[in-house]
Chain A
């Protein structure tokens, strides 16, 4: 895979340095564009503020956030209070009268994201634009950059100016010869420069990537991976790039080789080619608003989440052949039992039926729960197959089965048309039920006012 074609001595360096023949690697012009403090900027602009000037934080105060979770902070708030997004809690926020605290509006951010991508679409063809997350997009400008400027950097500035002029948002751009380089340029350099643009190319890999001393600053390396690398004697990107890739593969598996490629700035993926997951699955998870210890409460919420996943399954016209239930214990239980939770999967006859799915879930719950306090719940359905007809069972009456199927589709239709909360099981009103509360959430947070 990797060919060391020559050894050369760099001035002043005693050890010979290996270089790589990059000629056969894909060379393109890739941009990775993200928005500076996206949620916070959207909220600033809605209030008529400059995103760079107002100290504003977006804080989710849903029941299950334990007081409040800071989702985003404006650059000014970061500067004043040294805050970080997504890891700060309400308790970390200073009680400063200058600070503006606002609730999240996920629907607004989705709308803005669509507008931004519409602007990007003027610079690249549809197939060369890949929205990577709610505020990041990958653009393959290999074929179109020369239409908009003399250098890729100029094109990046032009995109930045267009977005700022039309939407008011500030964007940061990472430029690279492939998507991985663009991502690293964005994370490591673009966010810290004045013009909010960073560049990494094959020629500058040693200078820009190997100079990184903190492994966790690199995309794909978290604290745990960093620890594992440390155990192999790797403490910075230079050492990672000069480790035997076979050793990395032996210790870290496929991810090891992937990290090695990143260290050399190599990425052979094609943005235009859609990658399909090997096996699709559907599921939902939730953090409960408090520790649940009561059996009936837990059963209520498991049923609810099972029904939610089953409804999504029917929407996709799929049947599931496997079901899994994960339970996460409360913090107190985790510390005393040294166990994080339990997870079990089981096969079932391909189905999309509410009852069949919740029944199995309750069975799994019964088997894995022994009175512990539960804080996290997840239900996943896998081994999906297209629903081409209904597999009839020999053990239930024919009419009954057809009626059940019809009932489920009718309930789905009513909910599609009038909203989820218009038709709920009475069990959702019991203590412990969360379905009604969760119905208005988008991505786990407040969606915003329904009728703007």
Chain B
């Protein structure tokens, strides 16, 4: 397992409690000011506030690397991944748009 994937997985597992009526997902943000990719673990119980826990920061600012990390995480956790700040960027391998719609808070 990739070292970054391991750090992310180790940090999210204790939080991922699979409580009923609760949505869990991952958020990946492109921090173009700091030139990093930031990972967050988000969860929200129905009608409650959204909680967002920082998991990890990847300093290798390279989309190809991010793609490998993300695909590994997807197979490992099966969690939905939300992308923020990636509008108009395309996965180098899959050749698909990363983020189809601009996030409302961007």
Chain A interfacial positions (CB closer than 8 Å to B): 44-50, 53-54, 93, 95-103, 105, 166-168, 448-449, 451-452
Contact = CB atoms under 8 A, between A and B. Distances in A.
Given A48-B38, A95-B47, A449-B11, 13 more contacts: A46-B29, A48-B103, A49-B84, A54-B105, A95-B48, A97-B44, A97-B48, A102-B52, A102-B53, A102-B54, A105-B54, A448-B54, A452-B57
B18 interface: no
Contacts of A45: 31, 33
A375 to B, nearest CB: 28
A452 B84 contact: no
Interface string B15-39: 0000000000001011101100010
A53 B44 CA distance: 20
Contact of B50 (A49, A100, A448, A452): A100
4 closest A-B pairs by CB: A48-B84, A48-B85, A48-B29, A54-B105
Contacts of A451: 7
Contacts of B84: 47-49
B38 A46 contact: yes
Interface in B49-64: 49-57
B106 A103 contact: no
B33 to A, nearest CB: 5
A168 B52 CA distance: 20
Contacts of A452: 56-57
A168 B106 CA distance: 12
Main secondary structure, interface of A, reads loop
Contacts of A54: 105
Interface size bracket, B side: 20 to 34
18 contacts: A47-B27, A48-B30, A48-B84, A48-B106, A53-B105, A53-B106, A54-B105, A93-B49, A95-B47, A95-B49, A97-B44, A97-B50, A98-B50, A99-B50, A100-B49, A101-B51, A103-B54, A448-B54
A103 B31 contact: no
A36 to B, nearest CB: 16
B88 to A, nearest CB: 14
Interface of B: 7, 11, 27, 29-31, 33-34, 38, 40, 44, 47-57, 84-85, 103-106
A75 B103 CA distance: 18
Nearest to B33: A168
Contact of B49 (A99, A105, A167): A99
Contacts of A96: 49
Contacts of A101: 49-52
A111 to B, nearest CB: 9
B54 A50 contact: no
Among A46, A50, A103, A167, chain B packs the most CB atoms within 10 A around the CB of A46
B101 to A, nearest CB: 13
A249 to B, nearest CB: 50
Contacts of A99: 49-50
Given A97-B44, A105-B54, A449-B54, A50 B106 contact: yes
Nearest to B44: A97
A54 B103 CA distance: 10
A47 B40 CA distance: 8
B49 A103 contact: no
A45 B54 CA distance: 12
A166 B33 contact: yes
Contacts of A53: 104-106
B31 A46 contact: yes
A97 B38 CA distance: 23
A100 B52 contact: yes
Contacts of B11: 449
A47 B29 contact: yes
A46 B11 CA distance: 18
Nearest to B86: A48
Given A53-B105, A53-B106, A449-B11, A48 B31 contact: yes
A97 B50 CA distance: 6
Contact of B54 (A46, A166, A168): A46
Contacts of B31: 45-46, 48
A89 B48 CA distance: 16
Contacts of B51: 100-102
A100 B53 CA distance: 10
Given A168-B33, A451-B7, A50 B105 contact: yes
